[in-house]
Amino acid sequence: MTKWLENHVPKLVLAPSFVAILLFVYGFIAWTAWVSLTQSRLMPRYEFEGFGQYVKLFSTPRWDTAMTNLAIYGILFIAISMALGLMLAILLDQRIRVEGAIRTVYLYPMALSMIVTGTAWKWILNPGLGLEAMVRGWGFESFTFNWLVDPNMAIYTIVLAGVWQSAGFVMALFLAGLRSVDGEIIKAAQVDGIPHWRIYTAIIIPSMAPVFLSAFIVLSHLAIKSFDLVIALTGGGPGYATDLPATYMYAMAFSRGNLGQAASSAMVMMAVVFAIVVPYLYSELRAKHD
């Protein structure tokens, strides 16, 4: 008995987590998947109905806006954060005297809640008393910067605040990547008289491919789950102009009382994450075997 226990202790230790994940992740996903195939409204109904909810979802203009916004926001947020993060990392990698302090400044937004970030930017970007009023006060009377209340531009304020929050984090990732490149190769290249920008483009950046991949994964994950930022900054408005799938899902689940739509939109969100994360996890775990 003790022997058996001894042999199975590792599995017993994992058992509670295993059960919890099985139920709270996989079981719950299955539940949501099932409800997305029913006609549930305010209360869940479990009679199978088919793909009606998905058909309805994709013919809803509001969902269309949400998916378009996710594409705009996701692409810009990821691209700008990566470009800015890489640039800041390279700039900081030049034996800067106060590197520690600068790094601290660049990265602190990552410690903030998106609600705080949204609140701050909402105040800065409000046309009446914020940035616009400030520049007008400097004498540029016709200066306009009203993205926050312009339905066509409001989504870009989300990009702005999102990049502000995450760029420092990407910088930290890239900086760690830069520092892990083999110094001998770099020294050899320097001895050979290769220009510094070439050392970056030909040696250092290509060898950081895995860092690019993880930054991409983390950022896309952040983008898809951006819910708080939209709620705090624009509340999804003006109108539905800045709705994302996450806010759509929340509205259907908790204010519209439409569980079927909430479940089907959540499943689409998960499919998007799946498409990005599964290849990554697969390659990660394969690398572990080598």
Partner 1 sequence: MTDLAYVSPRAGQRSTASRLGRVALRWTLYLLLGVFALWFLMPLFVMVTTSLKSLDEIRTGSLVALPRDVTFEAWKTAWGSACTGIQCEGLKPYLWNSVLIAVPGVAISTIIGALNGYVFAQWRFRGANLLFAALLFGCFIPFQVVLLPMARMLGILGLAGTIPGLILVHTVYGIGFTTLFFRNYYVTIPQELVRAAKIDGAGFFRIFWSIFLPLSLPIFVVSVIWQFTQIWNDFLFGVSFSSAGTQPVTVALNNIVNSTTGVKAYNVDMAAAILAALPTLLVYVVAGKYFIRGLTAGSVKG
| Least gap, CB of 3 to partner 1 (angstroms) | 11
Report d(CA 236, CA 232) in Å as an integer: 9
| Least gap, CB of 153 to partner 1 (angstroms) | 19
| Least gap, CB of 285 to partner 1 (angstroms) | 6
| Least gap, CB of 162 to partner 1 (angstroms) | 13
> How far is CA 223 from each of CA 56, 81, 129, 175, 247, rounded to the nearest angstrom?
25, 11, 29, 22, 12
| Least gap, CB of 55 to partner 1 (angstroms) | 20
Nearer to partner 1 by Cβ, of 240 and 250: the residue is 250
Report d(CA 48, CA 259) in Å as an integer: 14
| Least gap, CB of 252 to partner 1 (angstroms) | 10
Nearer to partner 1 by Cβ, of 65 and 265: the residue is 265
Nearer to partner 1 by Cβ, of 109 and 162: the residue is 109
| Least gap, CB of 71 to partner 1 (angstroms) | 16
User: Whose structure tokens read 């306009």?
Assistant: 144
3-state SS, one letter per residue, for the chain: CHHHHHHHHHHHHHHHHHHHHHHHHHHHHHHHHHHCCCCCCCCCCCCCCCCHHHHHHHCCHHHHHHHHHHHHHHHHHHHHHHHHHHHHHHHHCCCCCCHHHHHHHHHHHHHCCHHHHHHHHHHHHCCCCCHHHHHHHCCCCCCCCCHHHCCCCHHHHHHHHHHHHHHHHHHHHHHHHHHCCCHHHHHHHHHCCCCHHHHHHHHHHHHCHHHHHHHHHHHHHHHHCCCHHHHHHCCCCCCCCCCCHHHHHHHHHHHCCCHHHHHHHHHHHHHHHHHHHHHHHHHHHHHHHC
| Least gap, CB of 150 to partner 1 (angstroms) | 19
